[in-house]
Chains A and B, each alone.
Chain A
Amino acid sequence: MTAGGTRQLQYRVAMREAMREALLADERVFLMGEDVGAYGGCFAVSLGLFEEFGPERIRDTPLSELAFVGAGIGAALGGMRPIVEIMTVNFSLLALDQILNNAATLSHMSGGQFAIPLVIRIPTGGGRQLAAQHSHSLEGWYAHIPGLRVLAPATVEDARGMLAPALADPNPVLIFEHVLLYNVEEEVPLEPATVDIASAAIRRGGRDVSLITYGGSLPLVLEAAAELATAGIDAEVIDLRVLRPLDERTVLESVTRTHRAVVVDEGWRSGSLSAEISARIMERAFFDLDAPVQRICSVEVPVPYAQQLEEAARPRASEVVRVARALVEGRPVDG
């Protein structure tokens, strides 16, 4: 790409541009959620949209996650294309009944009479000292649920490009936006590229070890890969992008080439997405492995406020480097 063909774009602005484009393109699209309008969005993602599109289409809701997520489902049934923003992933639990028992279920339970073309955007993850009720990574729970598509844009280009196909999907799509990514700026094509919402992406090719991650952990994994390169280790970095349905093939093909895998997941280890990835590698690529699959996850504590404790709870690049090196060098990981 030539310099003239690209521009600097912030993740937050990319998401805003994608929403603006969708609002302009389709009258059925509207945004609703807590403080998405007059306030401009808790993370300023929707800043300016209220002024441009008005209170009907940029709809401030009461603090009623259950009702406004359910209303999004009903509006989708009624022919609209709602984008619902839930302020943070912990608050999504207040709407979990509607997400699981209605959004993910109605198509099947009705024998295919109805579809739910609904997009729910949810900020997720820690790293901002917001403590134990605003910092968790619960996207793995949602990835457990049949009937949902779960996306985790980790790059600015994906933040810009995933919304349109998500809105075109006749099924409910959850988009998890890691709060540490909002300020990230990256070079993107001037013309927004079409991105798919079906496959994982290889963010860095490599031969020695597959580092498998998604969302907010991608930057630290890329940092680890760069450091491993200085030690002569060629790591491949896979960004899952789509947490449900999983693009198993890209993962398995990578592991078949590198023979080693480290899964990095900000969720808690027990019953996590990382456990799912690891299990699938064991099931399908066991005989291609030179070493046991390793996982780097958040420590199993409610995320604490104090900076050094929060940092200790979250996956770190140094740990990815340490574990990947041990694998490649054939040393015990815990040694």
Chain B
Amino acid sequence: MKKFWVLLKKEIKELMTAQLILPFVIVVIIFYFIGGYLQNETKKVNTNYQPIAIMDLDQSQLSKEIITFLESQNFKIDKFVKSNLTNDFENYLKENKINSGIIIPQNFQIDAESLRAPHLMTYSQITGFSLIASMKSASLPTVTALINNLVSDKIINGKIKSDNAALLKNPYITVENVMINNKTAVTSARQIITFASQQTMFIPIILFMVIILSAQMVAVAIATEKENKTLETLLSTPVDRKIIVSAKMLAAGIIALVMAAVYMLGFKNYINGISGGSFSSSGEGIKDAITQLGLSLSNSDYIILGIGLFVGILLALAIAMILGAFAEDAKSAQSVIAPLMVLTLIPYFLTLFADINTLQPIIKYIVYLIPFTHTFLAGQYLTLGQVQPVILGIIYQFVVFIIFVYIAARIFSSDYIMTMKLNFGKKNKI
């Protein structure tokens, strides 16, 4: 056992190179700072910090009411009064870097009340095509919708001598119910899907990262030993080959898990920034519904999910050990794990974008034969309260893992670890 810990320590030390850690740390720091910056910027955009310039050429009761109404809705209204000329208004927008502008034309009230459809002119000044730049003029459609509502309400109330324009436009109220398995809750389906998607989106990303990272590390670790001519010495020592294999696998798994966890913290911050903080707060308005529908994962669900992830990683490591034995050096190790990447990418993309149960049967069963499919589906199934398919998936993965570990142990205990390589028809050289 002592030899295992000695080897594990050595494997971790070998893997923790500057080439591995430095780019990773830089990416995480960038994610963190960009996320923070984006969160601030999107907050500014979303909370009506962006001014809207209005040139009121009508100067009617209605136009004044529109402006007062918009101010009451906390929009920052910049009244342009210096001129009645459109060119001057446009220049004003440019000089003052105001992204949104509205011109209320002359006779607006008269034409609107006479149902002659006056033209309300809006101006969106685009200064860039980034997310933040595009959000700066994103409030204009909301403003024009509010104006439309106000004006139409006034016209309807005026025409039918009623003050119930809202009810006339929306004569009924929709009560949304969501059913999941045998549970029902009164809530919006879109909100539930958004919440669940956000929760289940992270799990496949983490899994994919950990699986690919750890597999790459194990394959490179073996190939590097071959390249640096240290493998023969290691294999000739009185250490059980299974201990050598286990130490390499565990070292790669530990580092991959830590890297994935840190990466996801940075990535979550970044996504939060893009969504203006809405990513992490999407569940707040529908907490009761989430509980009623049983969508929150219990402690036992997390344990099952953890076991599934662990078995999935072990399986990837076992496969990587076998593939790594084919590599002659660290460079070729990157390419030998291509089959493993394919086996991981297929279920990864399918679980993110498709419903596997709606696939054609033969394709569905092929996808289910890929062990990693069950790892990626576990989060979704558990969220829906379906434990049995997850347990069956874990058992299936474990059986496949045992088979691959047996093969890996056989390779490491035999000549194959010394002689195996992708030689494309060339003779093996000893």
The yes or no verdict on A and B being binding partners is no
